[in-house]
Amino acid sequence: MQTASHEVIVVIPTYNEAENLERLVGMLLDLPLALGILVVDDNSPDGTGQLAERLALGAPTRIEVVHRAEKRGLGSAYLFAFEKLMPQQPRFIVAMDADFSHHPRYLPEMVQSGRDGFDLVIGSRYVPGGATPGFPLSRQILSRGGNLLARGLIGLRALDATAGYRCYKREALVRLPLQTVRSSGYSFQIEMLTLFQRGGFRIGELPIRFEDRRCGHSKISKQEILLALKTVMRLSGQRLIPSAGIRHPS
- C-beta of residue 71 within 8 angstroms of C-beta of residue 41: no
The pLDDT score that the predictor gives to residue 47 is 97
Beta strands per DSSP E along the chain: 8-14, 35-41, 63-67, 92-95, 120-124, 166-169, 203-207
Where do the domains of the chain lie, and which CATH numbers do they carry?
Answer: 8-237 (3.90.550.10)
| Pairing assessment for the beta strands 92-95 and 8-14 based on DSSP bridges | parallel
Residue 101 is predicted with a pLDDT of: 93
Instruction: Calculate ∠ Cα 225-185-236, nearest 5°.
Output: 65
What is the structure's pLDDT at 208?
Answer: 97
| Per-residue pLDDT at 3 | 46
- What pLDDT was estimated at residue 220? 61
Give residue 215's pLDDT: 53
**Residue 52: which residues within 8 A CB-CB, separation 6 or more?**
14, 21, 39, 41, 63, 65
- Is residue 166 classed as helix, strand or coil in its secondary structure? strand
What is the mean pLDDT, run by run of 10 residues, along the chain of 250 residues?
77 96 98 98 97 97 96 92 95 96 97 98 97 83 84 93 96 95 87 95 97 60 74 82 77
Amino acid, res. 80: F
Position 186 scores a pLDDT of 77
Cα dist. 204→63, 111, 243 in Å? 28, 11, 21
